[in-house]
Amino acid sequence: MSDALTLYRERARQWLATFAPQYCGQARHGLSFEQDLRLAREWQALKVEHGYGCITLPTAYGGGGGTELEKVVFSEEEMRYDLPLNYFSISLNNPLPIFLRYANEEWKNRLAPATVRGELLWCQLFSEPSAGSDLASLRLKAEAVEGGWRLNGQKVWTSWAQIADWGVVVARSDSSLPKHAGLTYFFVDMKSAGITVQPIRRLGDEKDLNEVFFDDVFIPDDQRLGEINGGFRVAVETLMIERYAVTDESGYGPTLERFIELAANTRINGLPALADGEVRQRIAEVFVERQGLRAIHRRALEAFALGQAPGPEGAIRKLLLGRTRQRLGAAAMDLLGAQGLALDPQTHAVNDFAKAWLDPSLRIAGGTDELLLNTLAERVLGLPQDHRPDKGLPFSALKR
Ligand SMILES: Cc1cc2nc3c(=O)[nH]c(=O)nc-3n(C[C@H](O)[C@H](O)[C@H](O)COP(=O)(O)OP(=O)(O)OC[C@H]3O[C@@H](n4cnc5c(N)ncnc54)[C@H](O)[C@@H]3O)c2cc1C
């Protein structure tokens, strides 16, 4: 950390201490979905006003014009508060930056500043029922028509589609080409005729996921991002923008300290659980993992400081965080016994062990555990690539 960055952190910390309490914790308790979303929009607007919203995006569109390291430092500090950031996690981190890279100036001026301020919200329409890890297998069809394109088909697992104003979407424009080559990338008005959004009910009752159906949806050609049939490259670029997401050390789950506190206050066979060998071993394992994660995080920060992008650290980090969160949740459930089965609607995976155990989303979204292991095998260990039997074949010739 340079002196300038240390000062930046200090200022951010003070700013957060002054403003954040009105937007987190008790301030959110008992709020309806709509009220919490309103609070989230107010928080985003306040950050933008003070230069902390979209820190790395250009000032011309309302961003902070800052560096990657400043963004990391601010996120680390912001993460200490239970703020309503989730609604914007997709909108501002992937669709907005890619839109700014590819859209024409008129569109950028029209949509970007309001998106930065949190007034407009975007979703990312990539995954389909038979295309998730293998995104290039998607089937949503884009047909060229006078002045634009007609889209037909379905997307699934679309976070915040129900409240999104705009979305980025990848569709198959030419199925005579190999699967990666026949895709085109667009942005779409989510209020367009022919779009239907259906919520997906989740185990912990989180209200983020949806199915989205496209029924003859018209998209003008000036809403195409990138070349015709060049959409896969733009999709990969979109996913690479957030190569290194800053997360808290418990993977958005209850902390190790909370687990230790629980163990200290629980008894096993009349003795404090903290004296139990198995419980102690679990604490030691999580502690060691956390030290490893801190070292990985420091390496990533050093890469940013040198103006480089972090390597596969992000994959190692995400893999460990997702697994640790669920394992710690399971260990806590063992201690809580029957009490751990009562789901409190006011809690979330961030602060509730049962929900942290029940919610595997961190191990699926943004790359499943197995895909991360593949990345590490290929990019770190230099092992041969995964078998790709469909390589080079026209998409239309592939078995469904
Ligand atoms: C909370 C949440 C939010 C999401 N938000 C969005 C969103 O906003 N927009 C969006 O487009 N998508 C979103 N997704 C979808 C997410 O991107 C996919 O779920 C993810 O890419 C996995 O795809 P899949 O579900 O189709 O599983 P599949 O890819 O079908 O995988 C099924 C299983 O097979 C394994 N597997 C697959 N391929 C391989 C391989 N080559 N080697 C070894 N194992 C393999 C996987 O690891 C997994 O265990 C979200 C998902 C979640 C859980």
Ligand 1 centroid to Cα of residue 362, in Å, is 11
108 lies in a domain?
no
CATH code (residue 330): 1.20.140.10
Q: What is the pLDDT of residues 318-362, one digit of tens each?
A: 898 888 889 999 999 999 988 888 888 778 788 889 989 988 888
347 CA distance to ligand 1 middle (Å): 25
Do residues 10 and 67 share a domain? yes
> Is residue 63 domain-resident?
yes
Q: Is residue 106 part of a domain?
A: no
What is the CA(318)–ligand 1 centre distance, in A?
14
Same domain? 262 vs 217: no
Show the tokens assigned to 176: 């005579």
CA–CA dist 97, 103 (Å, integer): 10
In a domain, 112, yes or no: no
Look at residue 178 and tell me whether its pLDDT is greater than 80: yes
Closest-lying ligand 1 atom to the alpha carbon of residue 131: 26
Say how far apart CA 308 and CA 343 lie, in whole Å. 44
Whether residues 262 and 361 share a domain: the answer is: yes
Task: Indicate whether 101 belongs to any domain.
Answer: no
Pocket of ligand 1 (CB under 6 A): 90, 123-127, 132-133, 157-159, 209, 361, 364-365, 368, 370-371, 374, 386
Ligand 1 atom at shortest distance from the alpha carbon of 123 = 8
pLDDT, residue 363, reads 93
Position 117 scores a pLDDT of: 97
pLDDT at 80 (0 to 100): 87
What is the chain's mean pLDDT, rounded? 92
**pLDDT of 243 over the 70 cut:** no
Q: Which domain holds residue 19?
A: 3-88
Residues 199 and 274 in one domain: no
Among protein residues, the one whose CA lies closest to atom 5 of ligand 1? 159
Atom nearest to 367 CA in ligand 1: 21
Q: Are residues 181 and 148 in the same domain?
A: yes
Residues 278 and 329 in one domain: yes
| pLDDT (0 to 100) of residue 339 | 85
The pair of structure tokens assigned to 254 is 């209850």
Determine the atom of ligand 1 nearest the C-alpha atom of 209.
3
User: Tens of pLDDT along 371-399?
Assistant: 999 989 998 899 998 888 888 899 999 98
204-210: average pLDDT: 89
Whether residues 75 and 135 share a domain: the answer is no
Protein residue whose Cα sits closest to atom 16 of ligand 1: 365
Question: Is residue 388 included in any domain, yes or no?
Answer: no
Structure tokens belonging to residue 77: 């500090």
- Ligand 1 atom nearest to 386, measured from its CA: 41
Provide the pLDDT for residue 315. 86
What pLDDT shows up at residue 346?
Answer: 75
Number of domains forming the structure of the chain: 3
Residue 19 has pLDDT above 80, yes or no: yes
Decide: helix, strand or coil at residue 186.
strand
Nearest CA to ligand 1 atom 2: 365
For residues 391 and 270, what is the distance between their CA atoms, to the nearest angstrom? 61
Do 228 and 145 have their domain in common?
yes
Q: Which residues contact 113 (CB under 8 A, 6 or more apart)?
A: 61, 62
- Provide the whole-model pTM: 0.93
C-alpha 354: how far from its chain's center? 22
Distance 279 CA to ligand 1 centre (A): 32
Asked whether residue 107 is domain-assigned, the answer is no
- The residue assigned the tokens 């634009």 is 148
Instruction: Tell me: pLDDT of 279 over 70.
Output: yes
Domain boundary among 171, 205, 240: 240
Q: What is the average pLDDT across 228-256? A: 84
DSSP codes, 316-340 = HHHHHHHHHHHHHHHHHHHHHGGGG
pLDDT for the residue numbered 246: 66
| pLDDT tens figures, 23-72 | 998 899 889 999 999 999 999 999 999 999 999 999 999 999 999 889 98
Question: Ligand 1: which of 207, 350, 368 to mutate, judged by most atoms within 8 Å of the beta carbon?
Answer: 368
> Are 184 and 71 part of one and the same domain?
no
Q: What is the CATH number of the domain that holds 226?
A: 2.40.110.10
Going from the Cα of 259 to the center of ligand 1, the distance in angstroms, rounded, reads: 30
Indicate if 218 and 274 belong to the same structural domain: no
Q: Are residues 324 and 221 in the same domain?
A: no
The answer as to whether 111 is a domain residue is: no
pLDDT over 80 (residue 83): yes
Same-domain status, 40 and 77: yes
Residue of the nearest CA to atom 51 in ligand 1?
365
What radius of gyration, in Å, describes the C-alpha atoms of the chain? 22
How many Å lie between the centroid of ligand 1 and the Cα of residue 159? 13
Torsion of CA 82, 83, 88, 93, to 10 degrees: -70
255-267 pLDDT per residue, tens: 999 999 999 999 9
Helix (H, G, I), strand (E, B) or coil at 26: helix
Which residue, judged by its Cα, is nearest atom 44 of ligand 1? 370
**Closest CA relative to residue 122, chosen from 64, 169, 75:** 169
Nearest one of 24, 67, 41 to 305, comparing CA atoms: 67
Q: What is the pLDDT of residue 340?
A: 86
